[in-house]
Chains A and B, each alone.
Chain A
Amino acid sequence: MVLILRGKMNDIKEILNKSKVFGSLDEGSTAILEGLFDKWETHPGDTLTNADDTAHTFFLLGKGTALLAMDEGKSVVLDAPGDFIGMELLSAKGVYKTTLSILEEGHVFTASRQDFLDIIQEDSEMAATIMSAWHEYLDVKAPFARNNEDTGLLQQF
């Protein structure tokens, strides 16, 4: 069962600053992102996404360990606070292509997929910084995930 804790979250700022994807953003950009996220408590065995379901949420790991099961038996384990689970790692063309399960108790921060895509599709320095950091993060965390799709179009996430 996933418990949703809504409201002002003090620790989202800390996690965003720790994140390899969002850590290099300036304070103003971080403040914009803070407003996107809600906190979910997670427990071992929770399934946050199922492959083939409609994609509506992206995730930022706050604490704990998550297993992202991809096609062809591949998977990636995410256990660092600030690990971002979204875009081509999670979905394609509005549909989840991976199943996200929780292995260790903790919490994740969730953001609306559409709200997040609206931000990174803007012609802004913030969007460019996020996308650049995202590609570097993906190369380290799950380089095999980048081969699955042409990452040229944001709409495909």
Chain B
Amino acid sequence: MYGLEAINANNGWAICVVGISIVFSGLVSLSLVISQLHKVLALYENPSKIKAFFKTKKTQKQVEDGQDTFVDLVLTQSQKEVSKQFALLVRTMEDHFSLPRLLHLAKISGLKDPYSNLNNLLKIGIVIPDGEGFFTLNNDRFAQFIE
């Protein structure tokens, strides 16, 4: 018995398919490893990136945890009006804005008691730190306490 007849008789086609699958899977895995190798080499050359990664995660968690420490202040109508004016100023800035810049804009715009009112926004959690030195507006808290 020779040729195709012999292959059929000894499960040759099945063995062939299994063999091709194994080789193909191996090559795909190898290509994936090689494609990500540059990241491993970058970490090997600069281990501080690993530390920075975990620090960022830690900071983000602390920022998230900090939201639980916000105070539910009851604002007067006048304070709510100033808060709305602060929010308008924020909307002229970038999503992650500079707090000293916001305070400066509030002062030159003539907002009432800019320091105290900005402090209220921080205490309530309407203005929250992003962990990178800038701040964002928490629209949910704003809607809850001001609108």
* Contact A67 to B103, CB < 8 A, known contacts A45-B115, A104-B119: yes
B134 contacts A143, CB within 8 Å? Answer: no
Q: Is the CB of B122 within 8 A of A69?
A: no
The total of chain B residues at the interface (CB under 8 A) is 22
B133 x A70 contact (CB < 8 A): yes
User: Across the interface, do A77 and B115 meet the contact criterion of CB distance under 8 Å?
Assistant: no
| Chain A nearest Cβ from B103, distance in angstroms | 7
A74 and chain B: residue at smallest CB distance: B133
B147 is an interface residue with CB less than 8 A from chain A = no
Question: Are B134 and A74 in touch, CB under 8 angstroms?
Answer: yes
State whether B116 touches A75 (Cβ < 8 A). no
B116 touches A139 (CB 8 A): no
Tell whether B113 is near chain A: CB-to-CB under 8 Å: yes
Asked if A77 and B98 make an inter-chain contact with CB atoms under 8 angstroms apart, the answer reads no
Q: With the chains together, A75 CA to B128 CA distance in Å?
A: 12
Chain B residues whose C-beta falls within 8 Å of the C-beta of A45 in the assembled complex: 115
How many Å from the CB of B102 to the closest CB on chain A? 10
A72 and chain B: residue at smallest CB distance: B133
B62 at the interface (CB under 8 A from A): yes
B93-117 vs A, CB cutoff 8 Å, 1 = contact: the mask equals 0000011110100000000010110
For residue B82, CB closer than 8 A to chain A, the reply is no
Once A44-B116, A142-B133, A143-B59 are accepted as A-B contacts, the answer to whether A75 and B122 lie under 8 Å apart by CB is no
* Contacting pair A67 B133 (CB below 8 A): no
Residues 124-139 of A contacting B (Cβ, < 8 Å): 139
Please report which residues of chain A, range 104-157, place their CB below 8 angstroms from some CB of chain B when the two chains form the complex: 104, 139-140, 142-145
Closest residue on chain A to residue B121 by CB atoms:
A103
Chain B 116-129: CB-based contact to A (< 8 A → 1; otherwise 0): 10110011000001
Rounded to whole Å, the gap between the CB of B84 and the closest CB of chain A is 19
Cβ-neighbour of B100 out of A75, A79, A144 (below 8 A): A75
Contact B100 A99 (CB under 8 A): yes
- Report how far A102 CA is from B135 CA in the complex, Å: 18
A73 at the interface (CB under 8 A from B): yes
Is there an interface contact between B98 and A73, defined as CB atoms closer than 8 Å?
yes
Write the A64-108 contact mask toward B (1 if CB under 8 angstroms, else 0). Answer: 010101101111110100000000000000000001011110000
Most chain A C-beta atoms within 10 Å of own C-beta, residue among B99, B101, B103, B135: B99
B-facing mask of A36-77, CB < 8 A → 1, else 0? 000000001100000000000000000001010110111111
Task: Check B115 against A73 for contact (C-beta < 8 Å).
Answer: no
CB distance from A108 to the nearest CB of B (A): 15
**B49 CB within 8 Å of chain A:** no
Name B's A-contacting residues (CB within 8 A). Answer: 55, 58-59, 62, 98-101, 103, 113, 115-116, 118-119, 122-123, 129, 131-135
